[in-house]
Amino acid sequence: MNHTVYLYVFDTMADWEIGYLTAELNSGRYYKERQAASTIVTVGIDKSAITTMGGLTILPDISLQECSLTNADMLILPGGETWTEAIHEPILQTAKRYLEEDGWVAAICGATAGLAQAGLLNSRAHTSNDLEYLRMVSPVYTGELLYQPQPAVTDGKLITASGLAPLEFTVHVLKALDVFPSNKLEAWYNLNKTHEPKYFYELMGL
């Protein structure tokens, strides 16, 4: 089975926050036996090239207008500096509809502020960079009692993460897609988190 992941791309996108994730999705190098690597479809506000915060140029595969999430397995919303601006309202409405249709949405760092501004964190357990950060950037946010001071949180089919937790974000997404054997996912995380060689051998099955 091949999974299709839609990745929203935009100017100022924090490219490093989804680096671990896109590498594993695209390569499929530690996927389950006979599990095909995932297909990543980049979605832009339109089809104009965007420049990430790291200075990389990405030409979106499709525009948001062309985007149909019917066949998607996950919508990924990376962080960036512009999530409180009106330009992202269309993708936030798309995320809202997709959640209502029981689709997976994963947001990290600034994207969680966008979700808060859209009212999508008021009834779901979630995390972000900090509770005060959400209060500061989103006047309509009322989900304080559901905030969890964790690197990443999954509630139903919504994944949220701090911008300081790209590893944990990746683990939650890969677990949701169910593409890694559980022992390899644990070894992958521990290797990247601790840098201890023993986890490399576990990951490689040696």
Which are the catalytic amino acids?
Answer: 109
User: Tell me, what amino acid is at 41?
Assistant: V
User: Tell me, what amino acid is at 173?
Assistant: V
Helix (DSSP H) and strand (DSSP E) numbers for the chain: 7, 9
| CA pair distance 28, 177, nearest whole angstrom | 12
| CA pair distance 153, 3, nearest whole angstrom | 22
What sections of 78-181 are H helices per DSSP? 89-100, 110-117, 131-137, 166-177
User: Tell me, what amino acid is at 106?
Assistant: A
Torsion 76-79-84-87 (CA) sign: negative
Length reported for the chain: 206
Q: Which residues of 162-171 are buried (b: 16+ CB within 10 A; e: fewer)?
A: bbebbbbbbb
Within its chain, how far is the Cα of 56 from the centroid? 19
Query: Which two structure tokens, joined as six digits, stand for 190?
Result: 């521990």
